[in-house]
Structure 1
Amino acid sequence: MAEALVIQDTTYAGEAASYFITRPVIEMDTVQKGCIHVHDGIKKQYTIPRIEVSGFMQKRAATPSSKGNINVDGKVLIPRDMMLYLEFNPRDYEQHWQAVNLEPKLLDRELPPTAEDFTVLQTMKRLNEFFENATWKSRIMFDPEGLAVDPTTKGQAATDVQYLYFDGLIVKLLQASETVKVSSPATLVSGTAGGGQENILDAMGRAYKAVPQAILYKYGAKGLKFHISYATQQIYEEALTTQTFKNNDTTEKGINRYKGYDVVPLAGMPDNTIVICVSSPDLDSNPWLGVNSTEDQDGLQLARLQANSELYFIKGLFKMDTQFGFPDFVVLYTTITL
């Protein structure tokens, strides 16, 4: 197995900072912005119980007969396994300026404290980036050892092939026949549409008209939200600032709302996609994220590979799945196909 640690900077000609700078990465927006309920403690599977009552009204009778239905069912979360595993040799730092911080004895060589801290820090950041993208874009069918489906044939980026361990929120909506799907979705633009394109404001308007009445006019943190990607957010902002009649200063940050409803840009959302639903971090949320334990995401194991080895490893074990409580109360506009 190839070692993960590659030292490219072997020069040292003066003072060096006592820290590393880390490349910016996207964060797990969907959780941090309160757009999903995270349910942990799922060892095998978890059923989100649902209940519905209907058809109960009737004419008055002295001795009535029962009329109506009470239906109890559920949506299932089945977290699936995945892992993070890297091996490296701390002695590779002997060719780096961090060599001065290595243990004197060869048998005791491990990562210098600064290198260890920032290695784990950046790994955690990249892990959260992966989870954010996977929450929305994952498909089991991308697995090269399974169906080996090319993501580009489904309207997704070729790089989405890495999200293969469970089915994400978008595919769950596409699979559910009751999802409110907006017809004829197209590539979103801020200017004049045409040739397979649609103006972002027109698309949001069509999607908004499809929202079920039961969730209309519910605003705020626990209300209806428009979920879009960062790129779509930029298109939306451009559309607002290029309208003939506008009332905002184009040099200022705009109010991120559509007809009073919050518009939430999420780093993991695919482009040309709008998801409208009630989302929150509590049990009232329509989208759910099921995990074995939230503590699995909070820490990684860093240790020597084995007693007679100089190698070390970083390891993490995770189980995740996504689900919607009521797909019939979710409006989906997307160019992604099933």
Structure 2
Amino acid sequence: MAILQTGGTVYTASYPGVVARFMKEADLISKGHVYVQGGFNESFKIPRVSMSDAIQAHTETPASEKGDVTFDNATLTLTKYDVFVKFNPNSLAGYWKPFQADGEFNFKTLPGQVQGQITSVLLNQVAGYNDIVLLQGDTSLTGTTNLKYVTGFIKRAQNAPEVYDITGATTITQANVISELQRAIRQSKRNKSDVRRATYDPNFKLFVSQYTKDLYGDALRGLTNKSISIEDRTPDRVNGLQLVALPGMPDNAILGAVGQNSPSSNLWVGCNDMGDFTSVRIERWRPESELYFMKMTIGLDSAIVKPEEVFLYKA
């Protein structure tokens, strides 16, 4: 990986925002759809408790107990990936004032302004990657794909037999998006009591791709008795449940779960330190070299705490 300059307008004046326009937030984390647990190095146990049927007829003195209380845990186990880039700061002379002096750039360290801009680009690329890998990641993948470094929520749901799998998932189109969203809700609530109870939580959300949400809006606008007009934004509700479009969700998929930025979330993200998302090393590659490097290491994992309260629609 390298920093490439591919032509276009070269700004001779200092313009610190030239790279910042590429900034991208990790919606899954920054918008409060998951709980992030930091401060551990290898694994973290998320405690949970469940009770089997403990209901029995009333007697003055019960003859025997009924039901069991089970304590167990979901586990976050970190896997790591690196971001490593080498670059020549002299190639940035046309963009930043600190590089416009006569002669070659010979400072021992990069000016703080430049470090900040380069770091912003790096962090926001990582944020965009986390958006995707935390949903679509699969450590069983091989080859050149970057999705093999972390297990995402979709794979977690597919691997958990307790998750309710919506049957008959198909390609979602403008013609069927309303009926498929409603069918996923009805089918899971009718056939899985745990999902039905979870949907009463105000933070139960239907996670879809932006394209799927756009199709939903187009379908509503196309109704004979119109729900919304062309100038209106797409509603964020389906049958009273929140509809959330995420950059990392694939098309033709719906993940239904309680997601929020608190420990009561059913979707958790783990990292060995919250500083992983802000700590970057920017140093000269070697004392005699003109090259600098940026390095960032992130330990990351996902967990579904109560898979029995989740449904997955995946074509």
TM value normalised by structure 1: 0.82
For the structure 1 residues 51 and 240, does the alpha-carbon distance in structure 2 shift closer, same or farther, using more than 3 Å as the test? same
- Aligned equivalent of 1:283: 263
The superposition leaves residues 2-48 of structure 1 with CA deviations (integer Å, 9 ceiling, x where unpaired) of: x7233444986x85453342354643111122111111112110111
Question: Post-superposition shift, 1:113?
Answer: 5.7
Shift in alpha-carbon separation, 1:10–1:97, aligned structure 2, 3 A: farther
Q: What is residue 132 of structure 2 aligned with on the other side?
A: 133
How many residue pairs are counted as aligned between the two chains?
A: 307
Task: State which drifts further: 235-244 or 17-26.
Answer: 17-26
Letter matched to residue 18 of structure 1: Y
- Partner deviation per Cα, 1:43-93 (whole Å, 9 max, x = no partner): 110111111122323342646223221111111110111111111222344
Among residues 200, 203, 207, which one is paired with 2:184 in the alignment? 207
Given the superposition, is the C-alpha separation of residues 260 and 87 from structure 1 closer, same or farther in structure 2, using an over 3 Å criterion? same
Superposed CA offset, 1:286-316 (max 9, x none) = 1111111111111311111233333211010
Q: CA RMSD in A?
A: 2.6
2:71 maps to amino acid: V
Q: Tell me if structure 1 keeps the 8 A contact 2:15–2:96.
A: no
The answer to whether the 8 Å contact 2:199/2:241 transfers is: no
| 2:239 aligned residue | 259
What does residue range 237-316 of structure 1 map to in structure 2 within 5 Å? 237-316=217-296
- For residues 93 and 261 of structure 1, the distance between their equivalents in structure 2, rounded to whole angstroms, comes to 49
Distance (whole Å) between structure 1 residues aligned to residue 184 and residue 95 of structure 2 = 55
- Whether the 8 Å CA contact 2:23–2:120 is kept in 1: the answer is no
Contact preservation (8 Å) 2:169, 2:314: yes
Deviations 1:232-281 (A, max 9, x none): 11111111111111243321224311122211111111111111111111
Q: CA deviation at 1:213?
A: 2.4
Return 36-45 or 53-62, whichever deviates more: 53-62
Name the amino acid aligned to 2:166.
Answer: V
- With 102-111 and 30-39 compared, the bigger mean Cα shift is at 102-111
What's the CA shift string for 1:190-239, capped at 9, x where partnerless? 12xxxxxxx111111111111322123333xxx22111111111111111
Give how far 1:103 is off: 7.5
2:65 alignment partner, SS class: coil
Contact 1:102/1:112 (8 A) holds in 2: no
Paired residues of 2:96 and 2:114 also in contact (CA < 8 A):
no
Aligned counterpart, 1:72:
71
1:188 corresponds, among 169, 172, 178, to 172
| Contact 1:52 1:72 survives alignment (8 Å) | yes
Helix, strand or coil: the match of 1:141? coil
Asked if 1:229 corresponds to 2:209, the answer is: yes
The CA distance in 1 between the partners of 2:50 and 2:200, in whole Å, is: 22
Shift, 1:328, TM fit = 1.1
- The answer on whether the counterparts of 1:11 and 1:96 sit within 8 Å (CA) in structure 2 is no
| Paired position in structure 2 for 1:156 | none
Deviates more, 1:115-124 or 1:203-212: 115-124
CA distance in 1, matches of 2:124, 2:83: 13
Query: Is the aligned partner of 1:320 residue 2:300?
Result: yes
CA distance in 1, matches of 2:14, 2:107: 24
Residues 102 and 130 of structure 1, relative CA distance in 2, 3 Å threshold: farther
Residue 218 (1) aligns with residue 218 (2)? no
- In 2, Cα distance between equivalents of 1:24 and 1:242: 34
Q: Distance in 1 between matches of 2:235 and 2:150?
A: 35
- Cα distance, 1:95 vs structure 2: 7.9
Q: Distance in 2 between matches of 1:262 and 1:11?
A: 43
CA distance in 2, matches of 1:307, 1:15: 29
Unaligned runs of 5+ in 2: 190-194
Indicate if the aligned counterparts of 1:225 and 1:277 stay in contact, CA closer than 8 A.
yes
More divergent stretch after superposition (202-211 vs 304-313): 304-313
State the distance in 2 between where 1:238 and 1:137 align: 26
Equivalent-residue separation in structure 1 for 2:229 and 2:60 (angstroms): 65
* Percent identity of paired positions between Structure 1 and Structure 2: 24
Q: 1:63 to 1:239 in 2, by over 3 A?
A: closer
Residue from 152, 155, 166 that aligns with 1:171: 155
**Equivalence for 2:47:** 49
Q: What is the aligned partner in structure 1 of residue 80 from structure 2?
A: 81
Structure 2 Cα separation of the partners of residues 10 and 266 of structure 1: 32
Unaligned 5+ runs, structure 1: 149-160, 192-198
